[in-house]
């Protein structure tokens, strides 16, 4: 029923998609930062282990 071109031209329809993508990107950055923190912790723990391994 609705014209796909009209939906595409509608600014209110494309804006949420952009903000959702931005939110996903932000979440991805947060997740990678968390992974870096965890990796750093693991590396420091391994580095602090006695060299009897």
* Sequence ranges of the domains in the chain: 4-47
Model confidence pLDDT, tens digit, residues 3-21: 555 555 555 555 556 677 8
Distance between CA atoms of residues 29 and 14, nearest Å: 23
Q: What pLDDT does residue 17 have?
A: 62
Q: What pLDDT does residue 38 have?
A: 93
Q: What pLDDT does residue 12 have?
A: 54
pTM of the predicted model over 0.75 = no
The chain-wide mean pLDDT, for the chain, equals 75
Nearest CA among 38, 34, 40 for reference residue 48: 40
């Amino acid at each position: 029923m609705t014209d796909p071109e009209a939906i595409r031209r509608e600014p209110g329809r494309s804006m949420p998609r952009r903000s959702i993508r931005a939110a996903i990107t932000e979440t991805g950055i947060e997740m990678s930062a968390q992974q870096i923190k965890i990796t750093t912790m693991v590396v420091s723990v391994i580095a602090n282990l006695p060299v009897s391994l």
